[in-house]
Amino acid sequence: MILSMLAAAGGHIRFEDLGLHPDVFSIGFFTLRWYSLAYITGILFGWWYLGKMLDRPGAPMSRAHADDLVFYATLGIILGGRIGYVIFYAPEMFLHPLRILRLWDGGMSFHGGAIGVGIGVILFARKHKLSWLRILDYLVCTAPVGLFLGRLANFVNGELWGKPSDVPWAIIFPRTVPFGLPDPARHPSQLYEAGLEGLVLFAVMSFAFWRTKARYDPGKLSGLFLLGYGIARFIVEFFREPDQQLRAFAEMTGLHMGQWLCVPMILGGLYLMNSAKTRRVRVEPIAGPDSIS
């Protein structure tokens, strides 16, 4: 419908005309933002979906473990995501440590959050004497929904827009160029990421979990997620404008920081998938009636 409107108008839609706002609502001093709601909803969905997966035979932990795991994962997302952003995208914040605590100043890094979750899972597994890699295989299946919601929130915030483009669905985001210059129409790269990293990756992970025996090969699902996300993010970065403070880095290296960070993810994903069979052991079911060899 929007595309037909644009074709009829012979121009591009302006972001302001969509009527979107970063805040869901405000009551007194409290403001709920779409970005925060995306995190909360993603974590709650992941908690629920994880429980559904744990009901299947051969689960690496019980449903009772899931509550404790959610705490570790949430802590890893927040701490890892923020610290990762500072390290990868804004190291100057180390000169002003209090800025690091202002989560709304700058943002979060998915790659940092992924590392944080990985550390959290390892600590959780050691505490309960469980297989951290098999737990991670289950947890990554829930991640695409959070990525989908997060990218939609980026779009609502009018941030992380794409490169200038004249495609029919390009959007004119405000304040993307120095004051006084007309804002060009740009790729809505946030929606590209929501589709690839969110919807497509969730479909792939769901099929692998529910329709194959991948969950019995430790590391295969984790590898599939790393590979799928890495490829999706690497592709979309070609349509995305690099962060302002990293433009020189992108021009010098030929790739965005996000693409460089995806390279070890892709390589690690391939390794985990190719070596998964060697780690396969007899799995005694925590949930379900049968053992799977």
Residue list, annotated binding site: 151
Cβ burial 256-288 (10 Å sphere, 16+ → b, else e): bbbbbbbeebbebbeebbeebeeeeeebeebbe
Inter-residue contact 58 to 285 (CB < 8 Å)? yes
Q: Round to whole Å and give the CA distance between 107 and 276.
A: 34
Q: How far apart are the first and last CA of the chain?
A: 51
Residue 54, classified by CB atoms within 10 Å of its CB into exposed (0-12), middle (13-18) or buried (19+), is buried
Partner residues linked to 171 by β-bridges: 13, 186
Inter-residue contact 276 to 49 (CB < 8 Å)? no
Query: Rounded to whole angstroms, what are the CA distances from 256 to 126, 160, 252, 259, 278?
Result: 36, 13, 10, 5, 35
Cβ burial 102-115 (10 Å sphere, 16+ → b, else e): eeeebbbbbbbbbb
- Residue 3 is inside which H or E element, if any? helix 2-9
Inter-residue contact 186 to 170 (CB < 8 Å)? yes
